[in-house]
Structure 1
């Protein structure tokens, strides 16, 4: 995953032949090329940072391979460079470059991925105060969704209300420790306590890269779970 994520910063659009506002449609004929080997398949899935291409010669491709993708859609011909991040039973999972995502007409909007990750709240800046309050005892939190721009979370201490908070400092456990500073932009009442939405503030590029790799990993895992569920449903029809 790290190799593929690192390759994601080297996307190239110079080879694009033609594009149209009509955009890319699912089930378009798609050519995948690596090192002179070319195979043709169908674009069958597009969500967040990943796309799926069903392709007969999927076994020829390996994780981390750099590939050239050419999509022949009614809206035009689209070409971009990417990387293979997974493969499964006749299909390749390929990174969908961020600048490429707005071209997909039938993409499923899912900027955030659902997770269940722990973390801890360390400091709060309140709207009515000019200084930061460092918490003597950290408060646990659970991240329910995450994206490269922010998180949605709940606090383990249901009596602690961030309704008048402006900025928080916290540490997330994503399999690695990630300190963040985030602005509270949303608050919803739950049966017990509150749900908060927060947007990262002044995030360093190294941390953004780490979050992007984590989100990509979770998207791939979610894709496989959904596909397995769909196949089970079809099997019992």
Structure 2
């Protein structure tokens, strides 16, 4: 079986000191790029993204390679990252997989709400004799780096623990083998939850890029809504 994802390309330098409390939100964070350094506050961390509130946000551009030094009660953590979004007063950078375990306040592999098309195929046989025996359309409701939730409108022979082949339209087609983990009636059909069993490295990279993009979009939408509600309280 192929690995579900490539090894991270990010450089995890060193933890100068660590404790069980790990990295906490509201920690002072130094952001450094070539010829410029500024200090902000780590305000948000979920899945693959980190937000740093910083007054000098206009000095940074999308795609900048940055070094972060986080001064947390759990220790001092230094790691490299990439700027993927910029908002009024804050920067969004990638949270490298090697660092995610150190965040005390986090959700690992958060499910991202989406509305994407796809198809599911059941499999028969095993090994080299595996063949498709049934196929139907599905609607993807949520997705993460470890699994996917989808709805099928019509009757379809899926049960828990069954292995199926999924084809997901995420801007680019992504195919994988998945195991059905959950089945329950839904508003528009039957809802299924599945975990990835086999996903080619190249497809895993495309999936990661899609999830990261949606995480950033959803975060800024939620933040905009919260700001609007505060203004009109």
**Structure 1 residues 133 and 58: CA distance shift in structure 2, 3 A:** same
Corresponding residue for 1:63? 62
The structure carrying a bigger strand percent of its residues is: 2
Instruction: Give the deviation of 1:181 after TM superposition.
Output: 1.5
> Structure 2 regions of 5+ residues with no counterpart?
1-6
Structure 2 counterpart SS, 1:116: strand
2:180 to 184, 201, 206: 184
Residue deviations 1:133-152 (CA, integer Å, cap 9, x gap): 433xx411011111112211
1:226 to 211, 217, 222: 222
Aligned ranges 1:1-237 → 2 under 5 Å:
9-109=8-108, 111-125=110-124, 132-135=131-134, 138-157=135-154, 159-163=155-159, 166-191=162-187, 193-237=189-233
Instruction: Give the deviation of 1:109 after TM superposition.
Output: 5.0
Instruction: Give the deviation of 1:24 after TM superposition.
Output: 1.0
**Structure 1 residues 166 and 181: CA distance shift in structure 2, 3 A:** same
**Structure 1 residues 126 and 189: CA distance shift in structure 2, 3 A:** farther
Please give the TM-score of this superposition, normalised by the length of structure 1.
Answer: 0.87
Residue deviations 1:98-123 (CA, integer Å, cap 9, x gap): 12112112224552211111111233
**Structure 1 residues 126 and 114: CA distance shift in structure 2, 3 A:** farther
Corresponding residue for 2:3? none
**Structure 1 residues 166 and 126: CA distance shift in structure 2, 3 A:** farther
Instruction: Give the deviation of 1:193 after TM superposition.
Output: 3.4
| Counterparts of 1:200 and 1:109, CA distance in 2 | 16
**Structure 1 residues 169 and 146: CA distance shift in structure 2, 3 A:** same
Residue correspondences, number = 225
Corresponding residue for 2:4? none
| Counterparts of 1:75 and 1:191, CA distance in 2 | 45
Q: RMSD over aligned Cα, in angstroms?
A: 2.1
Please give the TM-score of this superposition, normalised by the length of structure 2.
Answer: 0.89
| Counterparts of 1:35 and 1:16, CA distance in 2 | 22
Structure 1 counterpart SS, 2:166: strand
Structure 2 counterpart SS, 1:64: coil
| Counterparts of 1:194 and 1:180, CA distance in 2 | 21
Instruction: State which drifts further: 118-127 or 172-181.
Output: 118-127
